[in-house]
Amino acid sequence: MTKRLLTGTTLLLLTTLTLAACNSVETKTSLVTPATNSVMSAGPGDVVMSFQSKRALPNAFGKADVFGRTTNAGGTSVRYIGSRGGQAIFERTDVQVTSDATTMSETPLILPSTTHTNIEGTVGRYSVSGTATSTSSQFIPARGSSQYATASRPIQFSLGKGQSVKISGRTLRVVRVGSASVDYRIE
């Protein structure tokens, strides 16, 4: 009974790991700034929307990491610049981060080592012997990875009261444009 249960558990674990190892490496972008559907206000230079992108770490088979580990893939930010002629002026900046990180470069190793020591000898006219076993481990830190960021030229755009724009699947809607501020909502 126990052997059958153990075999079933092992088979279930292997199936789960195999299916998890089949996921493709994807990049997911999420909004970092709050999207509460309430009206918010920003002054010149304030970031009104900020997105962060994460890419799944590829494993030795080129598929996504079984444990869901990710690496930075860049992001997008939208900053309020100011207003001109009843229009709010915004600037969008996109940064893409390229990395050679993999599960192998980001995983530390722990190497166990067992040592057996045998001692034999005599004390006076008596033979003595002893055996000692010691276990230790060596920690080898992750080797790490390199990454570099590239930014595209910032894009400026303007929106008037009631106008909106879609950015990375979210909508930035201008509610009111003041002389030194803008009221907006993220939907």
Residue 120 lies in a domain: no
CB 50 within 8 A of CB 34: no
Residue 92 lies in a domain: yes
Cα–Cα nearest to 165, from 61, 95, 76: 76
Q: What is the length of the chain? A: 187
Task: State phi, psi for 19 to the nearest 5 degrees.
Answer: -65, -40
Residue 13 lies in a domain: no
| Domain count for the chain | 1
Q: What's residue 18's pLDDT?
A: 56
Q: What's residue 5's pLDDT?
A: 52
For the stretch 66-118, pLDDT in tens is 888 888 999 999 999 999 999 999 999 999 998 888 888 888 889 999 999 99
Residue 81 lies in a domain: yes
Residue type at 100 in one-letter notation? D
Q: What's residue 7's pLDDT?
A: 64
Residue 82 lies in a domain: yes
Q: What's residue 8's pLDDT?
A: 60
Residue 127 lies in a domain: no
Q: What is the pTM of this model?
A: 0.69
Instruction: Quote the domain boundaries for residue 82.
Output: 18-108+144-186
Residue 114 lies in a domain: no
**DSSP code for 179:** S
Extended strands (E) in 100-146: 109-123, 126-140
CB 171 within 8 A of CB 27: no
Q: Using CA atoms, how far apart are residues 176 and 131, in angstroms rounded to an integer?
A: 83
